[in-house]
Amino acid sequence: MKQLKVFRSLVKDSFDVVTHGTVKYHIWMGFLTFMMLVGMYCYSIQLNEGLSVTGMTDRVSWGLYISNFTFLVGVAAAAVMLVMPTYVLHDVDFKQAVLIGEGLAVAALIMCLAFVIADMGGPSVLWHMIPGLGVFNFPNSMLTWDVIVLNGYLFLNITIPFYILFRHYQGKEAKSKVYVPGAILSVFWAVGIHLVTAFLYQGLQARPFWNNALLGPRFLASAFAAGPALIILVLAIIRNFTAFKIEDKTLKKIAMVVTVAAQINLIMLISELFKEFYAPTHHSESAYYLFFGLHGKDALLPWIWTAIPLNVLATVLLTFHKLRNNPKILYFSCFILFVAIWIEKGFGLIVPGFIPGPYGKIAEYTPTGVEIGVTLGIWALGAFVFTVLAKTAIGIELGELRFKNNKN
């Protein structure tokens, strides 16, 4: 009963915290709310008319939604890069960052699930997918694996930080015996969610662009670059706007993680490009389409040729200690790396899988306004969730939020 009371008080307190803030904070939250409303409006159009209001067709049957889903799974998985050093290797430097990282993972996962639901043709019969209620095609369908690992990871990433914050809220120390097993599990789980998501595509013999053993590892490498890059940016913002102390040392260590991952990612990219273009086969056509266009169809060219130079530039900048240690350059490189990987792993990965189609037909894909609206709405939802979580967590960690046993 006491726990429940504490929980109620926590919810009330955190509600107070998230509804109060500076003018800038209110503008930010107001903007996110507005974007979410726009997204909901667009989604209502989509619900009414069907997915025909999107740019997807029978030829390119997955688009912006699944692209973002794929990318965000990576962001979510990247929280592990902070969890492992903190909880398992007991590296104190990461301690402040880890809660933020896990909050980010939660937000990313919520966005993932929202993107999947937005992509469904029949959201009203989604209960068919709930194990027990519907028919769950486990273990044959990789999508069911994905449902399990994503929800499991969401659960882990909610419970672990919640436990720690809950203890801190009561002014107690969190018991490592309780959360360390969960943290270790979440390390494996994070690798799992991203590998499984890669397998989702990798296992399709129909799509040679995806049916490639490097896809899974490359997913991991790019995730461990883009995710922590985002965490660096977020930490920088938090450091700027709140009293939450994040030391330079922490940022530097995360930057190191980003660097190594970006380098590995680049090596894999080179390996992939070599395979596709040194001895091109019929199966290299998708890569040709992506990088050079096929038969005059070249919608993805501007995207990929933005992504590749940004990727290379960011990796080079990060590689030099001197540049990396300069916060401005670090933030800049993290930003362009994030953008580059978003393009590469979103659009650059999903759309060419369908182009050319199974019989070599080239039908291009351009997202429509409705699709973009829903996408922005979901990103706003993610940012909103993250802001709420982060504000509460920071409040507790700074000691501003404490359970007051004043009623008795």
Partner 1 sequence: MMSSSLFVNRSLCLIVFCMVFFSCKHEDKYHGVMEKIEAEGEHYQGVSLSSENYLEGVDTILISEGGHTFLIPERKNQIKLYACTECHSKPLAEMQEGDIKKAHWDIKIVHANEKAMNCVTCHNPSNMDELRSVTGMSIDFDNSYNLCSQCHSKQFEDWKGGAHGKRIGGWAPPRASMTCVNCHNPHQPHFESRWPARFNTQKVKERE
Partner 2 sequence: MSRSNKKWFSLNLSRKQNDDSGTCGCGKTSGGCGSHSNDAEMSEEEFYHAAVNASIGDEREKDGFDQVFDVKMDRRTAFRKLAASLLIGAGAVNTSCSMLSSDESKEKAQIDWEEQFKGNYKLMTDDEKKNTVDRLVRSYQLRTGKTISMSSKNAEEDVLFGYAFNISKCQGYMDCVSACVKENNQDRNSQMQYIRIHEMKDGEGLKFDEADDNYYHEVPAEGHFYLGTQCFHCDNPPCVEVCPVQATWREDDGLVVVDYDWCVGCRYCMAACPYDGRRFNWSKPEVPEEEVNHNQHYLGNRMRKKGVMEKCTFCVQRSREGKNPACVEACPTGARIFGNLLDPNSTIRWVLENKKVFRLKEDLGTEPKFWYFMD
294: left (phi > 0), else alpha (psi -120 to 50), else beta?
beta
Q: What are phi and psi of 297, to 5 degrees?
A: -95, 120
**Identity of the residue, 45 or 180, whose beta carbon is nearer to partner 1 in the bound complex:** 180
**Identity of the residue, 139 or 296, whose beta carbon is nearer to partner 1 in the bound complex:** 139
**Identity of the residue, 120 or 398, whose beta carbon is nearer to partner 2 in the bound complex:** 120
Give yes or no for residue 368 binding partner 2 (CB under 8 A).
no
Q: Is 72 within 8 Å of 116 (Cβ atoms)?
A: no
The rounded distance, in Å, linking the Cα atoms of 403 and 5 is: 10
Q: How many CB atoms lie within 10 A of CB 4?
A: 8
**Identity of the residue, 187 or 385, whose beta carbon is nearer to partner 1 in the bound complex:** 187
Which residues in the 200-229 window bind partner 2 by CB under 8 A? 200-201, 203-207
Give yes or no for residue 93 binding partner 2 (CB under 8 A).
no
The rounded distance, in Å, linking the Cα atoms of 315 and 45 is: 41
**Identity of the residue, 54 or 311, whose beta carbon is nearer to partner 2 in the bound complex:** 54
**Identity of the residue, 100 or 374, whose beta carbon is nearer to partner 2 in the bound complex:** 374
Closest separation in Å from C-beta 80 to partner 1: 14
For 207-218, give one letter per residue: b (16+ CB within 10 A) or e: bbbbebeebbbb
Choose the contact partner of 205 out of partner 2, partner 1, none; CB within 5 to 8 A by kind.
Answer: partner 2
Give yes or no for residue 144 binding partner 2 (CB under 8 A).
yes
DSSP string, 322-352: HHHTSHHHHHHHHHHHHHHHHHHHTHHHHHH
Count CA within 13 A, CB hemisphere, residue 323.
13
The rounded distance, in Å, linking the Cα atoms of 185 and 149 is: 12
Closest separation in Å from C-beta 141 to partner 2: 5
State which of residues 126, 237, 270, 398 lies at the interface with partner 2 (CB under 8 A). 126
β-pair partners for 294? 297
CA 234 centroid distance within chain: 13
Closest separation in Å from C-beta 145 to partner 1: 9
Closest separation in Å from C-beta 113 to partner 2: 13
**Identity of the residue, 57 or 170, whose beta carbon is nearer to partner 1 in the bound complex:** 57
Residue carrying the six token digits 């030391």: 247
DSSP string, 376-401: HHHHHHHHHHHHHHHHHHHHHHTT-S
Give yes or no for residue 284 binding partner 2 (CB under 8 A).
no
**Which tokens belong to 318?**
């990060």
Give yes or no for residue 354 binding partner 2 (CB under 8 A).
yes
Distances (CA, A) of 114 to 136, 264, 265, 306, 351: 20, 30, 27, 27, 20
Closest separation in Å from C-beta 12 to partner 2: 23
Which residues in the 94-123 window bind partner 2 by CB under 8 A? 116, 119-122
Choose the contact partner of 134 out of partner 2, partner 1, none; CB within 5 to 8 A by kind.
Answer: partner 2
**Identity of the residue, 141 or 326, whose beta carbon is nearer to partner 1 in the bound complex:** 141
CA 13 centroid distance within chain: 28
The rounded distance, in Å, linking the Cα atoms of 247 and 89 is: 19
Enumerate binding residues for partner 1 (CB under 8 A): 88, 139-140, 180-181, 184-185, 188, 192
The binding track of 31-50 with respect to partner 2, each residue x by CB under 8 A or -, is: ------------------xx
State which of residues 88, 143, 180, 339 lies at the interface with partner 2 (CB under 8 A). 143
Question: Which residues of this protein are in contact with partner 2, per CB under 8 A?
Answer: 49-52, 54, 56-58, 61-62, 116, 119-122, 124-130, 132-137, 140-144, 147, 200-201, 203-207, 285, 353-354, 356-361
